Amino acid sequence: MPPMVTVVVALLAGLAAGSAARPLIFARAVPRGEPNRTACPSCTASYPSPGLRRRLHAATGRCSSCGSKAGPPAGLPELLTGVSFAAVAAAGASGWAGAAQYWLLACGAALTVIDLKVHRLPDILTLPASAGTLLLLGGAALAGEPGSFWRALAAAAVVTTAYLVLAVAGMGLGDVKLAPAMGALLGWSSWTTVLWGTFAGFALGAVAGLALILTGQASMKSSVAFGPYMIIGALAVSALSA
């Protein structure tokens, strides 16, 4: 069990990472084909407005100029990232491989908020998520940490290929671009981890979709934001297998 101070520091770092991601989430959480947002839709003031106080005010989910709703809901990206960081720290994440988990969490939390809002995973987050994960795992290999970088590369290729096949059946390309990060992180540990981590994403997505149908919030023909379940499944299995 890691010292409580480690978990607290991870929580605070996650809160800061979530706050830093808020402007990016605001800009990119728009329907596909629409231009990115840069200002409050009500008063056209820049978001977030310059200055530390106004940037902190942005965490309330409201414009600091007119008070109207702007950006993600109050505290959502901050708490999502903070709690996730703390959970990974509590699971014992450390070293370069642990840094890969934190990096993917930071990108994944922002992607989760965007995907649930507008059903898209923008390249500005998916591509750095995959590149950063591979780079950090490369650092883990050079540092001699337990795991296999070559297996991580192979798993990234296998999982991405599987998602490419699914894309033909209608899965979004954003999921495909996120797949290398998922596969690499899982593959670092073992092929069994790859299998369970990938399965967990689909299982969580199926359960969430069924829940939405049973509660009348979706139909059999509705699309489901799958990115969050990919991320949760992969990171949960990766953390437990570390």
Coil/strand/helix, residue 69: strand
Q: What is the predicted pLDDT for the residue at 56?
A: 72
* Alpha carbon 24 to chain centroid, angstroms: 13
Per-residue confidence (pLDDT) for residue 176, from 0 to 100: 93
Low-confidence ranges of the chain (pLDDT < 50): none
- Strand runs (DSSP E) across 20-166, as ranges? none
Residue 122: asked if its preceding bond is cis (omega within 30°), the reply is: no
| The pLDDT value given to residue 79 | 94
pLDDT (0 to 100) of residue 51? 67
Its pTM surpasses 0.85: yes
Query: Using one digit for the tens of pLDDT, what is the confidence trace for 198-226?
Result: 999 999 988 988 888 888 777 777 777 88
Dihedral (Cα; 23, 102, 12, 80), 10-degree rounding? 60
95, two tokens? 């070293």
